[in-house]
Amino acid sequence: MVEFARYYINFIREFFANIGNFFKRLFEAFADLFFNGVIDYFKQFISSSSTFTLLDWVMAFIVIIINVAFFVFLALKLYQLTRRYIKFNKSEIEKDSLLEEITFLNQKTIELIDEKNKILALKVAGMGGASPQEEEQYDEEKKEENLGPTRFVKLSSVDREYENTVTAVHMRDEDMINMNELVKRFINFSASKLGLFYDRKIISAFFAGMATSKTMILEGISGTGKTSLPYAMGKFFGRDSNIIAVQPSWRDRAEMVGYLNEFTKKFNETDFLKAIYETTYRDDVCIIVLDEMNLARVEYYFAEFLSLLEMPDADAWWVDVVSDTQPGDPKHLINGKILLPQNVWFVGTANKDDSTFTITDKVYDRATPIEINAKAAYIDAPQTEGVTISNDYLQDLFRQALKDHSISLKALENLEKLDAFITTNFKVTFGNRIMKQIRAFVPVYVSCGGSEYEALDYMVARKILRKFESLNLPFLQNEINDLSSLLDRLFGRNVFVECQAYLNTIKKQF
């Protein structure tokens, strides 16, 4: 133990001696550079200058002046940097001190305001006999606490949220893709990021449905991902979809949009109204989901929007909210109305069971129905990011699809023959509205990677054959068999898969 102690003491001595030698040598080197060597520098210069010519002296003078100027400049810079550093540290210290004082004063202010409000509250309650002026002051302070004297609290909060905010969409080069790439990218995104799996046909129908109508209906059995599809779309486009839960008590638009309470003079705002108002500030793709939309009668509470979205002039899409405009109302509430922008889509989900209402033809004819009755298979998708895309760019993709993949004349001729047969035998017709939707749906579906007849099959099955549910089918067995044969003759055997599957389902009921 004694030997180790002796060793360790010697080690410590040598260690600190080395540290001392290091600084000593460093100091000596610094002294040699700037002090001890100065005399030698002059001696060398005097010795060498004895042989200088006139030109050498001129050159020496110039070089000396340059060197002196350089060292003076270096010294000034070091002085300025040191002074700036000291000034910066001093200002930072003063700033921190001021922030602490401000925080302390704010806290004291809050405490004083709370104490004042409590005193005013006691006076208003009759304990202190408050004067009318004090009661009025108290009411004004409460109004300020309630976000100001406005009858639209939620919509005014949206105004404040987007105040001085730039909402223009700045697209990246990698986001400027076509419809086919958009479908593939969404499928990979939802699989890799969200663990949700969809096949190409469903996603192609969804995008084609967006080009066809501002209203879509996702229907099918429970648990197949109807609500998760628009949810994933919102994540994909970088803006969460607004999911509104439809209530069985909804009987008219007031349940969905809200109403003015004549007693309080406040507007009872709904999440649906706030969602459509927020879209007026946006330039990207906005999706509003009416979850379980057939828990109430859709044609009752959504009738105004169905008619509104049918109008060809988008500048006429005004949603009535109140009868007039008052000071303090939201900025985008014009004459008591909100102009519904072009970048919003309404997606309803619907289950078919005994707890829901049947969706009528009025709703189906104006919407694009998409059936989801089975979960897609698992895919090992690569990690894929969403897109930053504007509504204008998406509309350009739709217009380009219509230009590049317009429905062929042969397909139109076959549709006319099919329409004539169905009209004669089933008293059901395509109609101008459905034909317009088909002309918009098919090109986008094809641009998404599908075929023309696949798109036609999809639309005929869901827009035309669905109407057969109201017919007396047991008395139409022969007509249904003839229709099945006609589909094979016009479009090819086993081409109209959706239509044939629907007809086979009907045949099993005979």
d(Cα 345, Cα 60) in Å, to the nearest integer? Answer: 84
Q: Which of 22-26, 133-137, 267-271, 461-465 has the lowest mean pLDDT?
A: 133-137
Query: Is 471 exposed, middle or buried, given 0-12, 13-18 or 19+ CB atoms closer than 10 A?
Result: middle
How many other C-beta atoms are found inside a 10 Å radius of the C-beta of residue 192? Answer: 16
Mean pLDDT of 144-165: 79
Query: Is 227 exposed, middle or buried, given 0-12, 13-18 or 19+ CB atoms closer than 10 A?
Result: middle
Q: CA 239 to CA 232: how far, in whole Å?
A: 10
With a cut of 60, say whether residue 492 has pLDDT above it.
yes
Burial of 327 (0-12, 13-18, 19+ CB in 10 A): exposed
- Indicate the range of 23-27, 99-103, 416-420, 462-466 predicted with least confidence: 99-103
pLDDT at 26 over 80: no
* Predicted structure pTM score: 0.70
Burial (CB < 10 A; 0-12, 13-18, 19+), residue 289, is buried
448-476 mean pLDDT: 89
Do 438 and 208 touch, CB atoms closer than 8 A?
no
Query: How far is residue 152's CA from residue 138's CA, in Å, rounded to a whole number?
Result: 21
User: What single letter denotes the amino acid at residue 180?
Assistant: N
Q: Would you report the helix, strand and coil content of the chain in percent, each value rounded to 5?
A: 60, 10, 30
Q: What is the DSSP-derived secondary structure letter of residue 35?
A: I
* In the predicted structure, residue 317 carries a pLDDT above the cut 90: yes
Residue 477, pLDDT > 90, answer no
Give the chain's mean pLDDT: 85
Q: What is the pLDDT of residues 270-315, one digit of tens each?
A: 999 999 999 999 999 999 999 999 999 999 999 999 999 989 898 8
> Does position 397 have pLDDT exceeding 90, yes or no?
yes
What's the pLDDT score for residue 53?
Answer: 81
Backbone angles phi, psi at 341, to 5 degrees: -75, 170
Average pLDDT of 391-405? Answer: 95
Give the other-Cβ count within 10 Å of 123's Cβ. 16
DSSP per residue over 182-198, as a string?
HHHHHHHHIIIII----
Cα 300 to Cα 253: distance, rounded to the nearest angstrom: 7
Please say if the pLDDT value at position 381 is more than 60. yes
Amino acid, res. 268: N
User: In this structure, how many other beta carbons lie within 10 angstroms of the beta carbon of residue 316?
Assistant: 10
Residue 92 has pLDDT above 70, yes or no: no
Q: Mean of the pLDDT values across residues 428-449?
A: 93
Greatest Cα pair distance, the chain, in angstroms, is 131
pLDDT at 375: 82
CA 150 and chain centroid, separation? 28
**Rounded to an integer, what distance in angstroms lies between the CA atom of residue 203 and that of residue 212?**
14
Percent of the chain exceeding pLDDT 90 equals: 51
**Angle at the Cα of 252 from the Cα atoms of 249 and 257, rounded to 5 degrees:** 95
Q: Report whether 347 contacts 370 (CB < 8 A).
A: no
What gap in Å lies between CA 374 and CA 36, rounded to an integer?
92
Residues 138 and 121: beta-carbon distance below 8 Å: yes
DSSP 406-439: PPPHHHHHHHHHHHHHHHHHHS---HHHHHHHHH
Match 């449905």 to its residue by tokens. Answer: 209
Predicted local confidence at residue 323, as pLDDT? 87
Give 206-244 pLDDT, tens digit per residue. Answer: 999 999 999 999 998 887 889 999 999 999 999 999 999
CA separation for the pair 19, 16 (Å, rounded): 5
Range with lowest mean pLDDT among 19-33, 180-194, 354-368: 19-33
Average pLDDT over residues 319-331: 90
* C-alpha 457, offset from chain centre: 33
Residue 55: the pLDDT is 79
Closest Cα to residue 247, out of 302, 215, 293, 306?
Answer: 293
One-letter amino acid at 230 equals P
Stronger pLDDT, 367 or 98, i.e. the higher one: 367
Percent of the chain with pLDDT over 70: 86
In the three-class reduction of DSSP (H, G, I as helix; E, B as strand; rest coil), residue 354 is classed as coil
Find out whether 350 and 200 touch, Cβ atoms under 8 Å: no
pLDDT value of position 145: 46
CB atoms within 10 A of CB 343: 20
Mind listing the pLDDT tens digit for each residue in 415-427? Answer: 999 999 999 999 8
pLDDT band at 140 (very low <50, low <70, confident <90, very high): very low
pLDDT in tens, 256-268: 999 998 888 899 9
CA–CA separation, 152 vs 141, rounded Å?
18
Quick count: other Cβ atoms within 10 Å of Cβ 190? 27
**pLDDT for position 498:** 92
Q: How many CA atoms lie within 13 A of 329 on its CB side?
A: 18
pLDDT in tens, 172-211: 899 999 999 999 999 999 999 999 999 999 999 999 999 9
Rounded to whole angstroms, the Cα distance separating 438 from 96 reads 67
What sign has the CA pseudo-torsion 460, 461, 467, 473?
A: positive
Give yes or no for residue 147 having a pLDDT over 50.
no
